[in-house]
């Protein structure tokens, strides 16, 4: 009879991965980021255990969107939110969201690929997104995510 391997908290080693989003497609980079946050790239991956690494994304404002309706997608893709107050519904299209808050576009795409529970929310806290090329995590020697 074989016993399943279940990693202890002290055995989990977390690295800092660096992702440059310049010129990359939104959905494809989001899947790579979600994969690294979940820890699926590690040989000791165990479902239900937070084994992922920290991910730092730079140049989020330069991410591209492709598809059959790329030009219309910039105006028809809508991000919704509600303040839970009457009349608190707000929306913004993809073009305006990329100009005003480019980090939110990538964060929403990654959140759509993570589990919607307390583990997913904890994983999303390990994602650091910056619109420009600079970030304050340079002292940790980030490893580029291939």
Does 130 map to a domain? yes
Instruction: Please state the φ and ψ torsions of residue 17, each to the nearest 5 degrees.
Output: -105, 140
pLDDT of 1 reads 78
The CATH number of the domain holding residue 126 is 3.90.1180.10
What stretches in the chain show pLDDT beneath 70?
68-70, 139-144, 146
Q: Name the token pair of 58.
A: 């730079």
Does 131 map to a domain? yes
Does 6 map to a domain? no
Does 9 map to a domain? no
pLDDT of 53 reads 93
pLDDT of 69 reads 61
Find residue 91's DSSP bridge partners: 80
Structural domain range at position 102 = 14-144
Does 28 map to a domain? yes
Nearest to 19 by CA among 52, 43, 45, 54: 54
Does 98 map to a domain? yes
Question: Can you tell me the distance from the alpha carbon of 32 to that of 34, in angstroms, rounded to the nearest whole number?
Answer: 6
Residue 18 contacts residue 145 (beta carbons within 8 Å): yes
Does 112 map to a domain? yes
Q: Among positive and negative, which fits the CA dihedral 19, 20, 26, 28?
A: negative
pLDDT of 25 reads 93
Does 3 map to a domain? no
Domain count, the chain: 1
Strands of the sheet containing 127-129, edge to edge, are 127-129, 54-58, 16-20, 143-144
């Amino acid at each position: 009879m074989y016993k399943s391997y279940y990693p202890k908290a002290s055995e989990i080693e977390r690295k800092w991965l660096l992702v440059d989003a310049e010129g990359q497609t939104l959905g494809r980079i989001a899947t790579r980021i979600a994969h690294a946050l979940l820890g699926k790239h590690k040989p000791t991956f165990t479902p239900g255990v937070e084994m992922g690494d920290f991910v730092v994304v730079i140049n989020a404002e330069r991410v591209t969107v492709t598809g059959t309706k790329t030009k219309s997608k910039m105006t028809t893709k809508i991000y919704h939110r509600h303040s839970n107050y009457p009349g608190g519904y707000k929306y913004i299209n993809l073009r305006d969201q990329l100009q005003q808050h480019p980090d939110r576009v990538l964060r929403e795409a990654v959140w759509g690929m993570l589990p919607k529970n307390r583990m997913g929310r904890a994983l999303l806290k390990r994602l650091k997104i910056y619109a420009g090329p600079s970030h304050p995590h340079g002292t940790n020697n980030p490893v580029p995510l291939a």
